[in-house]
């Protein structure tokens, strides 16, 4: 039966123009979404480049100013911006800490439109942690960008539904099912074969369309062959899930209209409802402390330490005897007090930040625990991972920036407390930031999706053993 189904299913699909229609739709969707994704990546690259260029131009000016100062010339700039002051360098000539897009970043916008991908940490700025984390909505599972991930997760299932909802019911409604059922076959197996063949042909079309779009847009899938193979694996696993669902609905439901409504209902549940319900439950079970309260706390703390800056500085210097001044002509000024107080603010804020971090982590763990309930979450997470735009990627970036901000501050503080000028010779030793990508973890979502799909198919087959062909024939 399989060889005949294989032979004639393609003929039927070609003659009903399904193959041609799907090819055009897939090429358009993949083409447009990949182009959109590339545009976003291009903008991100340009933003980073512009920030770096600005820093380079500032550095040229800084070195010229330093040169003039070191040669004893008068410079026509405000005194607090003269780069011989380490705090002027630390505040007005920061480095760019950029998260460069990964080669497949165009696949999924992921968290990229929620978090920044470059910052310029300064010695006087607040702790970088405050500027990175989306405190109120940590689990962004609803995604609005028309990127490849959107097409795969949202639109591809709709195409599959349109392509598979009436495999059995159309035969029933046209009358050909009775003739088929009079042959020595199991109708359930026949439905499974038809759907498996449609899955096969659609998979080929998807692969062909993706390759065509990649080549047309100048992308080399073989440059990142592992990621590309993972991408194809993920798409096939996700498609298989929807075909498995279509198999169950074809067997269990009945008329074409009921099948279509059931499958669309399942699409709403798996793609829209489950992700947002999980998100909401995460927020309800692990509510985030009020961000306003945290900001108020920070302000109060700043006001408090401002009043006690002399005392704080004394305490700081007591803890850091290496900064003791031997030269009685030198004094401690504004920046000495400010930096000592900032350190204290940071230390005092740590428990509050930790409580946010903990709740955030709890929420993420919650979603992590139940993500398998929706294949859309699994697929989105995997695509974000491939694109380097997952929450783990941005968390990795945030941590690296916090470390770098500390390094930047710690590099310049000894200049400040030793009352030592910054010179052009010190320029080369300024720390710079280099983003280290997450080592790509295994794509757990793909085997999990395959497993769920096979389980669904098995449920269909096992349940069909207890149902006779007559029940399939007579339902409606």
Partner 1 sequence: MINTNNLTKKYGEQTALDHLNLDVKEGEIYCLLGANGAGKTTTINLLLGFVEPTSGSAFINQLNVSEDKRATKRFLAYIPENLMLYPSLTALENLDYFAGVAGKRLSQDNLKGFLAEAGLQTEAFNKRIATFSKGMRQKVGIAIALAKDAKVLLLDEPTSGLDPKASNEFGLLLQKLRGKGVATLMATHDIFRAKEVATHIGIMKDGQLKQQFVANDISLSKLEKAYLNTMEYNEVGS
Q: Which of residues 146-185 bind partner 1 (CB under 8 A)?
A: 174-176, 178-185
- The least CB distance from residue 9 to partner 1, in Å, is 10
**Phi, psi for 97 (deg, rounded to 5):** -100, 95
Instruction: Between 118 and 201, name the residue whose CB sits nearer to partner 1.
Output: 201
Nearest CB to partner 1, comparing residues 306 and 474: 474
Residue 4 touches partner 1, criterion: CB under 8 A: yes
Q: Among 35, 55, 131, 186, which residue interacts with partner 1 (rule: CB under 8 A)?
A: 186
- The contact mask relative to partner 1 for 411-450 (x = CB under 8 A, - = no) is ----------------------------------------
Q: Does residue number 469 form part of the binding site for partner 1 (CB under 8 A)?
A: yes
Cβ closer to partner 1: 173 or 406? 173
CB nearer to partner 1: pick between 364 and 469: 469
Helix (H) / strand (E) element for 97: namely: strand 97-98
Query: Is the Cβ–Cβ distance between 426 and 91 less than 8 Å?
Result: no
Q: How many CB atoms lie within 10 A of CB 420?
A: 12
Helix then strand then coil, in percent of the chain rounded to 5, is: 70, 0, 25
Question: Rule CB under 8 A: is residue 20 a binding residue for partner 1?
Answer: no
Q: How many chain residues bind partner 1 (CB under 8 A)?
A: 28
Of 12, 24, 61, 257, the residue at the interface with partner 1 (CB under 8 A) is 12
In angstroms, give the least distance from the CB of 151 to partner 1: 30
Give the CA count within 13 Å in the CB-facing half-sphere of 47.
Answer: 16
How many helices (H) and strands (E) in the chain?
19, 2
Nearest approach, Cβ of residue 466 and partner 1 (Å): 14
Q: Which residue's CB is nearer to partner 1, number 7 or number 320?
A: 7
Say how far apart CA 463 and CA 470 lie, in whole Å.
14
Contacting residue, 11, 71, 318, 434, with partner 1 by CB under 8 A? 11
- Smallest distance from the beta carbon of 181 to partner 1, in angstroms? 7
When asked if residue 474 is in the footprint of partner 1 (CB under 8 A), the reply is yes
Is there binding between residue 468 and partner 1 (CB under 8 A)? Answer: yes
Residue 15 touches partner 1, criterion: CB under 8 A:
yes
Using CB under 8 A, pick the residue from 190, 247, 270, 417 that binds partner 1. Answer: 190
Pick the closest to residue 247 from 263, 229, 223 (CA basis). Answer: 263
454-461 own/partner pairs: CB under 8 Å, 24+ apart: 454/244, 456/241, 456/244, 456/245, 456/247, 456/248, 457/192, 457/244, 457/247, 459/248, 460/188, 460/192, 460/244, 460/247, 460/248, 460/251, 461/188, 461/192
Closest contact distance (angstroms) between CB of 35 and partner 1 is: 36
Report the candidate in 460, 459, 29, 451 with the shortest Cα–Cα distance to residue 241.
Answer: 451
Name the strand (E) or helix (H) holding 269: none
Helical residues (DSSP H) of 371-466, grouped into ranges: 375-387, 391-417, 424-427, 445-466
Smallest distance from partner 1 to CB 182, Å: 4
| Distance of closest approach, residue 268 Cβ to partner 1, in angstroms | 33
Nearest distance, CB of residue 4 and partner 1, angstroms? 4
How far, rounded to the nearest angstrom, does the alpha carbon of residue 250 sit from its chain's CA centroid? Answer: 35
Counting Cα atoms < 13 Å in the Cβ hemisphere of 315 gives: 11
Residue closer to partner 1 (CB basis): 190 or 199:
190
C-beta of 183 vs 326, nearer to partner 1: 183
Q: Which stretch binds partner 1 (CB under 8 A): 6-14, 222-230, 289-297, 454-462?
A: 6-14
Q: DSSP for 294-345, please give it.
A: HHHHHHHHHHHHHHTHHHHHHHHHHH-GGG----TT----HHHHHHHHHHHH
Q: Which residues bind partner 1 (CB under 8 A)?
A: 1, 3-5, 7-8, 11-12, 15-16, 174-176, 178-186, 190, 468-470, 473-474
């Amino acid at each position: 039966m399989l060889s005949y189904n294989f032979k004639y299913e393609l003929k039927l699909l070609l003659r009903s123009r399904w193959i041609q229609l799907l090819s055009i739709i897939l090429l358009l969707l993949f083409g447009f979404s990949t182009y959109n994704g590339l545009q976003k990546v291009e903008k991100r690259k340009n933003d980073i480049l512009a920030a770096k260029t600005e820093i380079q131009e500032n550095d040229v000016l800084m070195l010229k100013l330093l040169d003039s100062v070191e040669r004893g010339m008068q410079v026509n700039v405000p005194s607090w911006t003269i780069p011989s002051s380490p705090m002027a360098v630390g505040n007005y000539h920061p480095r760019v800490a950029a998260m460069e897009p990964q080669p497949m970043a165009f696949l999924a916008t992921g968290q990229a439109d929620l978090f920044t991908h470059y910052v310029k940490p300064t010695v006087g700025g607040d702790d970088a942690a405050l500027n990175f984390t989306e405190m109120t909505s940590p689990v962004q599972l609803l995604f609005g960008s028309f990127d490849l991930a959107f097409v795969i997760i949202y639109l591809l299932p709709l195409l599959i539904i349109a392509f598979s909802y009436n495999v059995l019911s159309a035969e029933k409604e046209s009358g050909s099912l009775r003739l088929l059922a009079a042959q020595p076959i199991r109708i359930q197996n026949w439905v499974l074969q038809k759907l498996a063949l449609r899955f096969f042909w659609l998979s080929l079309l998807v692969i062909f369309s993706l390759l065509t779009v990649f080549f047309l847009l100048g992308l080399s899938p073989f440059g990142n062959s592992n990621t590309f193979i993972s991408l194809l694996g993920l798409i096939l696993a996700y498609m298989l899930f929807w075909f498995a669902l279509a198999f169950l609905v074809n067997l269990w439901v009945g008329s074409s209209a009921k099948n279509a409504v059931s499958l669309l209902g399942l699409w709403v549940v798996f793609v829209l409802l489950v992700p947002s319900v999980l998100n909401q439950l995460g927020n309800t079970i692990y509510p985030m402390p009020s961000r306003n309260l945290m900001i108020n706390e920070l302000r109060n703390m700043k006001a408090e330490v401002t009043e006690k800056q002399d005392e704080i500085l004394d305490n700081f210097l007591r803890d850091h005897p290496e900064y003791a001044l031997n030269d009685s002509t030198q004094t401690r000024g504004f920046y000495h007090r400010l930096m000592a107080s900032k350190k204290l603010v940071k230390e005092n804020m740590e428990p509050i930040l930790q409580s946010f971090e903990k709740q955030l982590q709890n929420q993420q763990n919650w979603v992590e625990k139940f993500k398998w309930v929706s294949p859309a979450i699994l697929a989105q997470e995997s695509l974000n991972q491939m694109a380097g735009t997952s929450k783990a990627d941005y968390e990795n970036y945030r941590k690296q920036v916090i470390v770098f901000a500390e390094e930047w501050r710690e590099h310049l503080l000894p200049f400040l407390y030793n009352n030592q000028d910054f010179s052009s010779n010190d320029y080369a030793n300024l720390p710079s930031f280099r983003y280290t990508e997450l080592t790509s973890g295994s794509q757990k979502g793909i085997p999990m999706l395959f497993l769920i799909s096979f389980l669904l198919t098995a449920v269909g087959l096992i349940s069909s053993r207890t149902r006779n062909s007559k029940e399939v024939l007579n339902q409606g």
